[in-house]
Structure 1
Amino acid sequence: MVRLLVTGTPGVGKTTIATGLARIYGATIVGLDEIITPVLKWDPKLQTYHVTNENEARKLITERLKTLNSYIIDTVAVNLIDASLIDWCVVLRLEPTQLMDRLTRRNWPHCKVVENVLAEIVGSSLVMAINTFGRDRVIEVDTTNKNVDEVINYITNRIAYGRPAVGIVDWLDDVDTDILINLSKELDACLS
């Protein structure tokens, strides 16, 4: 039995890695959007869905997960998952300029690209995972310049030996301060 959550900033490879892990472990991939559709609402200004009732979302997710033995969840909504229903939380990370290129190639709106690159730089997915599951159940993975097999092997080895991994990357040390300031200004302009 395996109960994994794969998270990270949009564009880091969550779906690809979750699919590969599901094949290896014979687990069901759980898509939260379909479970919580009744409590999702589109926000045209932010160009994203938001949850209108987090308690109801948590209830719907918990009910679904309790019907499964082995599952892998692919989501950014870590805060909606009952920590007791997850064995390991895998946080995928990607070097910010590569993430920006990837999201731009997907024709994402510029403001969404900026928002997500900044989220990656400050490690918001990692912080949320640690706050929800604790450092002892988090496996942080730098996917930069790695192929799918390398990433999956790293994760499965960590799980097999019960070895969490936190503090693998710190983009704040690597990103030029001027780039960070410019991205922050762009995000401010997007939100005004």
Structure 2
Amino acid sequence: MKIAITGTPGVGKSTVSKVFCDIQNYKLYDITKIVKEKELYYEKDESMDSYVVNFNKLKEFFEKEIYSNENKENKKNKKNNLKNELDNNIVIEGHVSQHLDIDYDYIIVLRCEPKIIEERLKKRGYSENKIKENVEAEIMDVCLIESLERYKNDEENSKVHEIDCTNKKPDEIVKEINDALTTDELEYGKVSWLEKYFDYLTI
């Protein structure tokens, strides 16, 4: 099983992913940690205190890390194709996980009240510009829209499940994820912050 857990920075992806993987015995890949440790980026954007990800290198990393055991010739022939069987139950966590072109079984999009995200990012010491960018991304459903663009074929064939994490404990969110995976009843489109936070947006 290959699962992506995505969402705006500050929604709780890291905590939820760790709890889920500990319970389900899945292997966890933290994209932010991998990008920094393996230097899979072009440069650091000092103004936003973030890294410009080199997606080609990031995709190559996952090819080498999680492909099924194949002979060298088969690996060579499939070098640039991530849409193949992976050999483990894994979670790939990060707000860009939907951009990796991996054939996920499920995409879990975590959502959270924008004012809570703002408070959390302030505590992390994020710059004013970075906080605003991320809060606006949550208001505008950016991670959800990107996930649907890549993993929703039609109304009856979607891999995307959206969860509102506002005021919920990690174990409650993990239970919602497990329920969705067990029943294969996926939902999205019920979370909307736009009307409430429209005045926050920069027009």
Q: What interval of TM-score do these two structures reach, taking the shorter chain for normalisation?
A: 0.7 to 0.9
* Among 42, 45, 48, the residue aligned to 2:44: 42
1:89 partnered with 2:107: yes
1:71 partnered with 2:73: no
Structure 2 residue aligned with 1:170? 192
SS in 1 for 2:11: coil
Q: 1-side partners of 2:66 and 2:101: how far apart?
A: 10
Structure 2 residue aligned with 1:117? 135
SS in 2 for 1:83: coil
Q: CA RMSD in A?
A: 1.8
Structure 1 residue 38: deviation in Å? Answer: 3.8
- In the alignment, is the contact (CA less than 8 A) between 1:83 and 1:133 conserved in 2? no
Bigger relative contact order, structure 1 or 2, given CA contacts below 8 A and separation 6+? 2
Q: 1-side partners of 2:131 and 2:179: how far apart?
A: 32
Q: 2-side partners of 1:154 and 1:79: how far apart?
A: 20
- In the alignment, is the contact (CA less than 8 A) between 1:3 and 1:72 conserved in 2? yes
Structure 1 residue 118: deviation in Å? Answer: 0.3
1:6 partnered with 2:15: no
Distance 1:20 1:160, change over 3 A: same
Q: TM-score, normalised by structure 2?
A: 0.80
Structure 1 residue 35: deviation in Å? Answer: 4.4
Structure 1 residue 119: deviation in Å? Answer: 0.4
Between Structure 1 and Structure 2, how many residues are aligned? Answer: 178
- Greater helix proportion: 1
- Alignment-mate amino acid for residue 99 of structure 1: I
Identity %: 28
Structure 1 residue 25: deviation in Å? Answer: 1.4
- In the alignment, is the contact (CA less than 8 A) between 2:113 and 2:166 conserved in 1? yes
Structure 2 residue aligned with 1:142? 164
- Alignment-mate amino acid for residue 47 of structure 1: D
- In the alignment, is the contact (CA less than 8 A) between 1:58 and 1:80 conserved in 2? no
Alpha-carbon deviations, 1:46-77, whole Å to 9, x = none? 3210124x333222222212154111111111
Q: Which runs of 5+ in 1 are unaligned?
A: 186-192
Structure 2 residue aligned with 1:188? none
> Mean Cα displacement is larger for which, 151-160 or 105-114?
105-114
Q: Which runs of 5+ in 2 are unaligned?
A: 69-86
- In the alignment, is the contact (CA less than 8 A) between 2:107 and 2:147 conserved in 1? yes
Q: TM-score, normalised by structure 1?
A: 0.85
